[in-house]
Amino acid sequence: MPETFRFSIGDLAAESATTVQTIRYYEQSGLMPAPPRTAGRQRRYAQSHLDRLKFIRHARELGFPVEGIRELLRLSAHPDSPCDAADRIAAEQLAEVERKIERLQALRLELKRMVGGRHGSLRDCRIIETLADHSLCASAH
């Protein structure tokens, strides 16, 4: 049975909680296939477009970069293949998240140290001093 192209770009945006501009970006970057157009040049989308867009959105919410998503989409087209490549991509993303968490924790400690300082006039303000002289920071951020 042939696909039914029942969604306009606005419908697709509403169904996926994505903006029209984001959908166009995904099309331009090759993450979404270019949809067929009506005689009036309106884009028309099928359920498969919505499913793919939801996949992309979920991957973006998990922080996957566009190239990682592109590779995951390519891999998903071969469902009987081993999962090793997808596992590697997810492991790389996990490592990136862990690096970000470490940086955020260091920033948190530094901000706590800055805020916990003495609270006199601005002349003696630890926050202003630390922001003005990076060497006063206790962490490398």
Domain assignment present for 127: no
Q: Does position 112 have pLDDT exceeding 70, yes or no?
A: yes
Alpha helices in 29-124 (DSSP H): 47-61, 66-76, 84-115
Q: Is this model's pTM higher than 0.85 or not?
A: no
Q: Does position 139 have pLDDT exceeding 70, yes or no?
A: no
Domain assignment present for 15: yes
Give the CA count within 13 Å in the CB-facing half-sphere of 127.
Answer: 8
Number of structural domains, the chain?
Answer: 1
Instruction: Give pLDDT, residue 117.
Output: 67
Q: Does position 78 have pLDDT exceeding 70, yes or no?
A: yes
CA distances from 98 to 48, 67, 103, 104 (A): 33, 19, 9, 10
Domain assignment present for 122: no
More confident residue, 87 or 129: 87
Domain assignment present for 75: no
Domain assignment present for 99: no
Instruction: Give pLDDT, residue 58.
Output: 96
Q: Which residue, chain included where needed, has tokens 């996957």?
A: 64
Domain that includes residue 36, residue range: 1-66
Strand partners, 43: 37
1-22 pLDDT, tens digit each:
568 999 999 999 999 999 999 9
Domain assignment present for 79: no
Q: Check which CATH number belongs to the domain holding 52 and give it.
A: 1.10.1660.10
Distance of alpha carbon 125 from alpha carbon 41, whole angstroms? 61
Instruction: Give pLDDT, residue 118.
Output: 64
